[in-house]
Amino acid sequence: MTGSTCGTAPILCAPLLRKVDRELISLLRSLDPDEWGLQTVAPAWKVRDVVAHLLDTPLRKLSFVRDAYYADAFGTRSHQDVIALVNRLNREGVSVYRRLSPSVLIDMMQMACDQFADFHESLNPFVPAAFAVSWAGEDKSLNWFDTARELTERWHHQQQIRLTANRPGIMVPELYHPVLDCFLRGLPHLYRDTAAPIGTAILVEISGDCGGKWILARASAGWNFVDGEGTNLASRVTIPQALAWRLFTKGIDYDSARPEIQVEGDLGEKAIRLTAIVA
């Protein structure tokens, strides 16, 4: 677990996309034929569907952003429009690529992952991204945040496969801590309508070697992350790292997760409801 509080610095993680995807390719090559049909914690997706999604999304990003190619016109005026669009694109992509053999999927994945990593490593992290991180409430995001969001996608979907196929996870600090740091960036938006005196602070801790502490404090303009615990810590939340990624990506329901989470103070209960995916 990191020694200082998190959430205030940019997450500069572009090189990690390549590392996570190398682990993915190795994982896919290890799967037995029948393991491709196992049901994952994503209710609508078997392993082959998750793999199809992990192929579709980098190909889509490269086409839309790198190549500025849009086969269809997209009109999104609200967060609900974004959800509907993303769900449709995901559904369409999975329906196509799930038909491919494991061998073809892996070969295409290798190509897509290499180009995807090259593209994100080429970006200036401090200029506006093509897509905002909508689940964090942003209308405009910088590239570093969009890249970190992509890392969370690559990491947590791979972890779904590993959980399903009973393979060792990729829960190591280098790869998982940035994922957690990105997930928790959704807290200020989650608490945007929560009233509290200025200076009130909530500490969210992810316990374990990959975790850390995030302190959210009420300021005049809303809730923001701060360094240090301040003087008015109203609530403390502790979530085990093995549970956190599933909790924030709808990989486990609230009632099943709640007994493993410690909450002191009423304000902390809302943090457990954080969803860090478009859903």
> Where does the chain hold its CATH 3.30.1050.10 domain(s)?
187-273
Confidence check: pLDDT of 36 > 60: yes
Alpha-carbon distance of 167 to 220, in angstroms, equals 47
**Residue 265 backbone class (left: φ over 0; alpha: ψ -120 to 50; beta: rest):** left
What is the predicted pLDDT for the residue at 75?
63
Using the structure block, give the residue that is written with the tokens 């549970």: 243
Q: Which carries the bigger pLDDT value, residue 106 or residue 75?
A: 106
Confidence check: pLDDT of 96 > 70: yes
At residue 231 the predicted structure's pLDDT band, cuts being 50, 70 and 90, is: low
Q: 194: buried, middle or exposed (CB in 10 Å: 19+, 13-18, 0-12)?
A: middle
Mean pLDDT of all residues in 40-56: 96
Alpha-carbon distance of 110 to 97, in angstroms, equals 14
Strand residues in the chain grouped as ranges (E) = 5-6, 201-207, 212-219, 222-226, 233-240, 262-264
Alpha-carbon distance of 184 to 276, in angstroms, equals 8
Mean pLDDT of all residues in 206-219: 96
What is the predicted pLDDT for the residue at 1?
44
What pairing do the DSSP bridges indicate for beta strands 233-240 and 201-207? parallel
Lowest mean pLDDT among 31-35, 64-68, 207-211, 224-228: 224-228
- Are the CB atoms for 38 and 46 separated by under 8 Å? yes
CATH fold of the domain at 187-273: Nonspecific Lipid-transfer Protein; Chain A (3.30.1050)
- Are the CB atoms for 20 and 155 separated by under 8 Å? yes
Alpha-carbon distance of 277 to 279, in angstroms, equals 6
Mean pLDDT of all residues in 96-114: 97
- List, in sequence order, every residue forming a beta bridge with 238; answer none if it has no partner: 205, 262
Q: What is the pLDDT of residues 127-150, one digit of tens each?
A: 999 999 999 999 999 999 999 999
Alpha-carbon distance of 49 to 265, in angstroms, equals 40
CATH fold of the domain at 10-184: Four Helix Bundle (Hemerythrin (Met), subunit A) (1.20.120)
Joined tokens for residue 124: 């200036």
Q: Taking the CA atoms of 83, 11, 191 and 2 in sequence, report the sign of the dihedral they define.
A: positive
What is the predicted pLDDT for the residue at 3?
53
Percent of the chain with pLDDT over 90: 87
Q: What is the pLDDT of residues 55-94, one digit of tens each?
A: 999 999 999 999 999 877 666 667 787 788 888 988 999 9
Q: What is the pLDDT of residues 149-196, one digit of tens each?
A: 999 999 999 999 999 999 999 999 999 999 999 999 999 999 999 999
What is the predicted pLDDT for the residue at 86?
85
Global model pTM greater than 0.85? yes
Mean pLDDT of all residues in 213-231: 88
User: Quick count: other Cβ atoms within 10 Å of Cβ 45?
Assistant: 21
> Where does the chain hold its CATH 1.20.120.450 domain(s)?
10-184
User: Quick count: other Cβ atoms within 10 Å of Cβ 89?
Assistant: 16
Mean pLDDT of all residues in 256-261: 97
Using the structure block, give the residue that is written with the tokens 């600090």: 173
